[in-house]
């Protein structure tokens, strides 16, 4: 791919707030589409952790497009996602979400655009903050700038932690129709998740699972390993390392960080042996 100009003047500029009404049915549908085992999620009484991205989906896309040209969109993959939870999402909430591109970073393999989003209630109470890092494969900044602005908070899993015995491991299966089921409640109809020919045309091995769907699977696993209630989760972060294919089995291992703490590092591996989610971090309130 040739050189492309990224609009750095858009960094730090917030989108107009987008309104989102939290519906019990949509939360329940999202839980079902991610094979969520948590009863509160399946009943639509409490949003699954990764559902927080749904109200931010439109404004986050707008923030990315404020920096990156639209003709690069088909080369976009989700690099990292990081949620900070301040209060639960429950039925009937009226949310206002805004997003801003905050940084651009050139790597040897492409360009990373970092976006920050925040969702608030109608009276201004902060519900969650989230950072999304999108990666444009093969892109090169026309002005050859290495970086500008700020990047998302770090959450690298220390190798010394990975070398220890895990606190637990959970095995899960990604269904053959997972991407079709996930597309509707998430609002993400990107053809790389739904159209086999299109996915192969852009260099993928075929249809791939939505990264956030894989993240949702990992969240279920970590909640179980930590034996923690979903309302106690304060932060959840991952780096997407490799795609997951429909029909694959995946396994998530989690390590407690610090004796008696509510902080866990985790990673997810596919049945091919590839690490698909790395540098996972889950923080629970004491």
Mean per-residue pLDDT of the chain: 93
Say if residue 280's pLDDT is above 60.
Answer: yes
In this structure, the answer to whether residues 78 and 209 fall within a common structural domain is no
In this structure, the answer to whether residues 56 and 169 fall within a common structural domain is no
User: What average pLDDT does range 54-74 have in this prediction?
Assistant: 90
What pLDDT score was predicted for residue 143?
65
Please provide the DSSP assignment of 61-74 as one string: HHHHHHHS-GGGGG
Distances (CA, A) of 96 to 55, 115, 261: 8, 17, 33
In this structure, the answer to whether residues 132 and 204 fall within a common structural domain is no
What are 227's two structure tokens?
Answer: 């034996």
What pLDDT score was predicted for residue 71?
79
In this structure, the answer to whether residues 18 and 138 fall within a common structural domain is yes
Which of 84, 119, 153 is a domain's end point? 153
Q: How many domains does the chain have?
A: 2
283 SS3 class: strand
What pLDDT score was predicted for residue 5?
82
Domain residue limits at 136: 1-153
CATH of the domain at 117: 3.10.129.10
In this structure, the answer to whether residues 235 and 149 fall within a common structural domain is no
Per-residue pLDDT tens digits for 98-141: 999 999 988 888 889 999 999 999 999 999 999 999 988 777 77
pLDDT class of 1 with cuts at 50, 70, 90: very low
Which of 153, 172, 206 is a domain's end point? 153
Which of 132, 153, 174 is a domain's end point? 153
In this structure, the answer to whether residues 161 and 120 fall within a common structural domain is no
In this structure, the answer to whether residues 122 and 175 fall within a common structural domain is no
In this structure, the answer to whether residues 98 and 64 fall within a common structural domain is yes
Say if residue 231's pLDDT is above 70.
Answer: yes
CB of 90 closer than 8 Å to CB of 22: yes
What pLDDT score was predicted for residue 136?
85
In this structure, the answer to whether residues 232 and 124 fall within a common structural domain is no
In this structure, the answer to whether residues 120 and 158 fall within a common structural domain is no
pTM of structure:
0.94
In this structure, the answer to whether residues 11 and 85 fall within a common structural domain is yes
What pLDDT score was predicted for residue 259?
78
- Between 2 and 223, whose confidence is greater? 223
pLDDT-wise least confident of 213-222, 241-250, 258-267: 258-267
In this structure, the answer to whether residues 191 and 74 fall within a common structural domain is no
CA distance 230 to 219: 9
């Amino acid at each position: 791919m040739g050189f492309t100009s990224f609009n750095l003047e858009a960094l730090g500029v917030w989108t107009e707030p987008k309104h989102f009404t939290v519906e019990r049915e949509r939360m329940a549908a999202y839980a079902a589409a991610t094979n969520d085992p948590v009863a509160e999620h399946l009943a639509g009484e409490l949003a699954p952790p990764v559902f927080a991205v749904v109200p931010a989906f439109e404004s986050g896309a707008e923030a990315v497009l404020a920096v990156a040209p639209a003709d690069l969109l088909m080369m976009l993959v989700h690099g990292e996602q990081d949620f900070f939870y301040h209060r639960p999402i429950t039925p009937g909430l009226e949310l206002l979400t805004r997003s801003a591109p905050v940084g651009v970073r050139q790597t040897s393999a492409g360009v990373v655009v970092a976006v920050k989003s925040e969702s608030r209630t109608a009276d201004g109470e902060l519900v969650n903050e989230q950072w999304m890092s999108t990666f444009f494969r093969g892109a090169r900044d026309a002005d050859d700038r290495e970086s500008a602005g700020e990047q998302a908070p770090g959450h690298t899993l220390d190798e010394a932690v990975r070398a220890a015995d895990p606190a637990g491991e959970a095995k899960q299966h990604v269904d053959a129709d997972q991407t079709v089921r996930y597309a509707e409640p998430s609002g993400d109809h990107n053809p790389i998740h739904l159209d086999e020919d299109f996915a192969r045309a852009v260099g993928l091995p075929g249809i791939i699972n939505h990264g956030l769907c894989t993240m949702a699977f990992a969240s279920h696993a970590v909640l179980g390993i930590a034996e923690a209630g979903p309302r106690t989760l304060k932060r959840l972060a991952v780096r997407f390392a490799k795609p997951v294919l429909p029909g694959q089995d995946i396994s998530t291992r989690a390590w407690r960080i610090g004796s008696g703490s509510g902080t866990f590092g985790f990673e997810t591996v596919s049945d091919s042996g590839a690490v698909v989610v790395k540098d996972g971090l889950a923080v629970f309130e004491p």
